C-alpha cells in the first residue's frame, strides 16, 4: 500500500515536474524502476497488495512516458525599452514671433488641433498686397475685354462692308489685325488675374501656416515653444535643431528588446512571451514578437526584436526600461524533425545506479 500511495503522489506531481529542469523527466522512469526492484525484494509473491501496487506503478510509468514525449522548451530573456513608433517633431514652416502657446506638456491633442500661434507682419502685408494686385488685374482684364468687344464689332462691320465692295482690302486687314491684338491682350489680362490668384494663395498659405496645428493625434511629450520667442523657418530650425514641440502617439507603443544572437534560430514573428517594466515590476503583461531586425549588432552580439503589446499596464511611458521572457521550443531549429516532439529516455547508467542504491 505505501508503494501504491507513492506512485499516485508521483502521478499528481508530474505537472510540477514539467516546469522544472528537463533532466528531471529523464530520471522519472529510473526512480520508478528502482522502486519496483526494491519492492520485488521485500514483498512476497503471494501477497495481496502486489497486483494493486504493480498496477499503480504501471499507470505512473505510462503517464511519465506520455509526458516525456513532449518537446523540451526553454526561456529566452532580453531587455530593452518602450518605444512609440509614431512620433512627430513639430517645426514652424515660416519665420515668425510666437504670440500664443495653446498646449502644455502632457496634454492630449488631436490631429489638426491648434498648438502654437505666430505673427509675422511681413506675411500679412504680403497677403494684403496680393489681394490688391488681384483687384488691379481684374480691372485690367475688364478693360481688355472692352477693347476686344470693340475690335470684334469693328471687324464685323468692316467685313460686311467689304462684302459689298464698300470697304478696301487694306482696311479689312487692319481691322483683323486690331482684333487679333485685342484678343491677345485680353488673354494676357486673364493670365495676369490667374497669377494674382496664385500669389494670393501663396501669401494666404504663409499666413495660415503661422497657426501651427498638430500633424498627428497623441500626447505632447516635449514643449520648447514660449510666447514672445522668435522662431526660424523650418529649414533653419531643422539645421539648428530648434523645434516647437514633440507629439508622441502613446496609444500604440511597442517594446524594442535585444536578445543574444545565439537565439536567433528560435526567433520568429508570432512568438509569445511576457514582459515586465522596471517601473512596474509587479505588473507583467503579454507580448508577441512582431518584427525581427534584419541586422545583428556587432558591438553587443544581439538581435533586436520588436514586440507588440496586448494589454500594457496603465502609466507606461516611452523610454521605460523593460525585461522580456520568451518561451521557445528547442526543436524548432534542430531535433529529430523540424518542429516535432523529441522523446527523452533515461540512460542505462542512471537505472543501474539507482538499482544499486535501492539494494543498499
**Residue with the larger pLDDT of the pair 62 and 298:** 298
pLDDT tens digit string along 315-340? 899 999 999 999 887 654 444 333 33
pLDDT above 60 (res 341): no
Give the mean pLDDT of 109-113: 95
Residue with cell 525581427: 292
Q: Which residues contact 254 (CB under 8 A, 6 or more apart)?
A: 82, 83, 84, 85, 290, 306, 307, 308, 309
| DSSP-based three-state secondary structure for 212 | strand
Ranked by mean pLDDT, the top range of 11-15, 28-32, 133-137, 352-356 is 133-137
Mean pLDDT of the chain: 79
Residue 328: the pLDDT is: 85
pLDDT tens digit string along 170-188? 898 999 999 999 999 999 9
In degrees and rounded to multiples of 5, residue 261 shows phi and psi of -65, -15
Closest CA to 121 of 149, 101, 95: 95
Which helix (H) or strand (E) segment holds residue 11: the answer is helix 2-12
Q: Which residues contact 17 (CB under 8 A, 6 or more apart)?
A: 24, 25, 28, 67
Helices 28-42 and 348-359, axial angle in degrees (round to 10): 30
Query: CA angle, 219 as apex, 217 and 225 as ends, to 5°?
Result: 105
- The Cβ of residue 326 has, within 10 Å, a number of other Cβ atoms equal to 24
**Among 82-91, 254-263, 294-303, 330-339, the least confident range:** 330-339
Residue 25: the pLDDT is: 46
**Among 64-68, 102-106, 157-161, 349-353, the least confident range:** 349-353
**Residue with the larger pLDDT of the pair 65 and 152:** 152
| DSSP-based three-state secondary structure for 41 | helix
pLDDT tens digit string along 58-91? 655 555 555 444 556 788 999 999 999 999 999 9
| DSSP-based three-state secondary structure for 90 | strand
How many percent of the chain have pLDDT more than 90?
A: 57
Amino acid at each position: 500500500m505505501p508503494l501504491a500511495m507513492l506512485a499516485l503522489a508521483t502521478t499528481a506531481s508530474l505537472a510540477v515536474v514539467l516546469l522544472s529542469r528537463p533532466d528531471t523527466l529523464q530520471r522519472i522512469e529510473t526512480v520508478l524502476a528502482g522502486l519496483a526492484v526494491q519492492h520485488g525484494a521485500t514483498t512476497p509473491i503471494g501477497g495481496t497488495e502486489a497486483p494493486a501496487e504493480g498496477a499503480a506503478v504501471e499507470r505512473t510509468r505510462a503517464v511519465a512516458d506520455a509526458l516525456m514525449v513532449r518537446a523540451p522548451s526553454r526561456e529566452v530573456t532580453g531587455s530593452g525599452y518602450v518605444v512609440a513608433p509614431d512620433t512627430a517633431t513639430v517645426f514652424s514652416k515660416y519665420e515668425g514671433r510666437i504670440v500664443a502657446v495653446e498646449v502644455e506638456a502632457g496634454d492630449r491633442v488631436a490631429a489638426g488641433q491648434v498648438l502654437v500661434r505666430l505673427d509675422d507682419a511681413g506675411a500679412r502685408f504680403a497677403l494684403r498686397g496680393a489681394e490688391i494686385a488681384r483687384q488691379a488685374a481684374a480691372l485690367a482684364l475688364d478693360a481688355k475685354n472692352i477693347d476686344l468687344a470693340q475690335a470684334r464689332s469693328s471687324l464685323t462691320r468692316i467685313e460686311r462692308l467689304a462684302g459689298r465692295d464698300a470697304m478696301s482690302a487694306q482696311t479689312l486687314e487692319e481691322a483683323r489685325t486690331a482684333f487679333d491684338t485685342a484678343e491677345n491682350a485680353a488673354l494676357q489680362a486673364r493670365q495676369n488675374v490667374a497669377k494674382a490668384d496664385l500669389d494670393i494663395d501663396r501669401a494666404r498659405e504663409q499666413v495660415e501656416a503661422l497657426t501651427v496645428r498638430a500633424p498627428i493625434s497623441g500626447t505632447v511629450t516635449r514643449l520648447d515653444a514660449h510666447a514672445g520667442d522668435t522662431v526660424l523657418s523650418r529649414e533653419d530650425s531643422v539645421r539648428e535643431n530648434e523645434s516647437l514641440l514633440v507629439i508622441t502617439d502613446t496609444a500604440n507603443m511597442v517594446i524594442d528588446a535585444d536578445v543574444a544572437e545565439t537565439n536567433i534560430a528560435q526567433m520568429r514573428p508570432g512568438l509569445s512571451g511576457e514582459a515586465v517594466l522596471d517601473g512596474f515590476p509587479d505588473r507583467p503583461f503579454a507580448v508577441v514578437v512582431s518584427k525581427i531586425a534584419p541586422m545583428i549588432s556587432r558591438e553587443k552580439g544581439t538581435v533586436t526584436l520588436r514586440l507588440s503589446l496586448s494589454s500594457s499596464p496603465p502609466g507606461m511611458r516611452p523610454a521605460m526600461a523593460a525585461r522580456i521572457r520568451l518561451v521557445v521550443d528547442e526543436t524548432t531549429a534542430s531535433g529529430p524533425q523540424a518542429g516535432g516532439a523529441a522523446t527523452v529516455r533515461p540512460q542505462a547508467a542512471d537505472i543501474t545506479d539507482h538499482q544499486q542504491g535501492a539494494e543498499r
